[in-house]
């Protein structure tokens, strides 16, 4: 086995170009290794690349840990960070790893989708920005090429005034989401709804967004209709964590609750 320990992005992308598997906090990759699902022969450990851990305003290096996001991230992203695994997991796991793994249940992903975050992908050939909505294509499948490193996450200059994250799971801590959701709302009533664990990728509930964005002061009937549209917009499956029916129902209830918090 070979392990690279680069200190710069250029060294890291050279290793990736040679076929190395990227390793950030290890909280996803090592589970696959421990259970015999993968056996990487060449690995590039990213935690010594100090540039990846930089956080400058709206630009978060991919190596920023959940612990740091929990402490100083934008409201809904910090709320999401607080629900990632345990303190041990949050100390190791990174936002870049969450994006690269692209689990439908990735806790940080609905926020990134809701605010139109862009991901900075770097390779030996150069760099490109990919919008979150174009990045996730299927369960754990993204438009990242193997030789590309996720260097940073760029958030928009102005973030929504009101933003709330919520997660439903079988218990309060250490849980993978049955449904997770971010709702944001601006003073012009423009509303975004993004959800995880209810489709092959994190998704937006577009019809629900359009409907509620045109209403300045939603009534109870409007909120009920909003919840119904969210339940219709999602595409969940039944698996070992929950059923399609429950996820559909829970998505609507959760999104409505978060919207109500935004309206307070």
Partner 1 sequence: MIVSFFVNGEKTTARITEPASLLDVLRDQLGLSGSKSACEQGECGSCSVMLDDVLVCSCLVMASDVEGSTVVTVEGIATRGLHPVQEAMHRAGAVQCGFCTPGFVVTAAALFDANPAPSRDEIKEALAGNICRCTGYGAIVRAFETLAEGNR
Q: Which of 10, 139, 174, 206 is close enough to bind partner 1 by CB under 8 A?
A: 174
**Least distance from partner 1 to the Cβ atom of residue 1, Å:** 6
Residue 72 burial by CB count (10 A; 0-12/13-18/19+): exposed, middle or buried?
exposed
Q: Is 145 helix (H, G, I), strand (E, B) or coil?
A: coil
Q: Is 190 in the site for partner 1 (CB under 8 A)?
A: no
Q: Is 19 in the site for partner 1 (CB under 8 A)?
A: no
Name residue, tokens 């944001």: 184
Name the DSSP letter for residue 62. T
Q: Judged by CB under 8 A, which stretch of 10-18, 81-89, 180-188, 193-201 contacts partner 1?
A: 81-89
Name the DSSP letter for residue 24. S
Q: Which of 9, 15, 20, 29 is close enough to bind partner 1 by CB under 8 A?
A: 29
For partner 1, the binding residues in 89-108 under the rule CB under 8 A are 89, 91-92
**Residue 21 near residue 42, CB atoms below 8 Å:** yes
**Least distance from partner 1 to the Cβ atom of residue 85, Å:** 6
Q: Give me the 115-154 binding string for partner 1, x by CB under 8 A, dash otherwise.
A: ----------------------------------------
Q: Judged by CB under 8 A, which stretch of 54-62, 87-95, 181-189, 207-215 contacts partner 1?
A: 87-95
Instruction: In whole angstroms, give the CA distance from residue 80 to residue 35.
Output: 27
Instruction: In whole angstroms, give the CA distance from residue 204 to residue 239.
Output: 21
């Amino acid at each position: 086995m070979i392990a690279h320990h680069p200190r710069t992005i250029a060294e890291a992308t050279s290793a990736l170009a040679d076929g190395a598997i990227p390793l950030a906090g290890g909280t996803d990759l090592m589970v696959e290794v421990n259970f015999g699902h993968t056996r990487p022969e060449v690995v590039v450990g990213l935690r010594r690349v100090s540039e990846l851990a930089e956080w400058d305003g709206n630009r978060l290096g991919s190596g920023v840990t959940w612990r740091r996001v929990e402490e100083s991230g934008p409201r809904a992203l910090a709320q999401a960070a607080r629900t990632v695994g345990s303190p041990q997991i949050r100390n190791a796991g990174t936002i870049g790893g969450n994006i690269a793994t692209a689990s439908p249940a990735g806790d940080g992903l609905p926020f990134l989708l809701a605010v139109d975050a862009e991901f900075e992908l770097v390779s030996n050939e150069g760099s490109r920005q990919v919008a979150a909505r174009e990045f996730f294509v299927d369960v754990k499948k993204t438009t990242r090429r193997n030789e590309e490193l996720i260097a940073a996450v760029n958030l928009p200059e102005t973030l929504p005034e009101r933003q709330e994250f919520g997660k439903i799971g079988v218990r309060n801590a250490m849980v993978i989401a049955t449904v997770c959701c971010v709702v944001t709302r601006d003073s012009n009533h423009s509303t975004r709804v993004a959800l995880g664990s209810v489709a092959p990728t994190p998704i937006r509930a577009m019809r629900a967004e359009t409907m509620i964005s045109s209403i300045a002061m939603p009534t109870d009937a409007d909120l009920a209709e909003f919840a119904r549209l969210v339940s219709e917009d999602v595409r969940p499956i039944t698996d070992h964590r929950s059923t399609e029916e429950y996820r559909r129902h829970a998505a609507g209830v959760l999104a409505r609750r978060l919207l109500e918090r935004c309206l307070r």
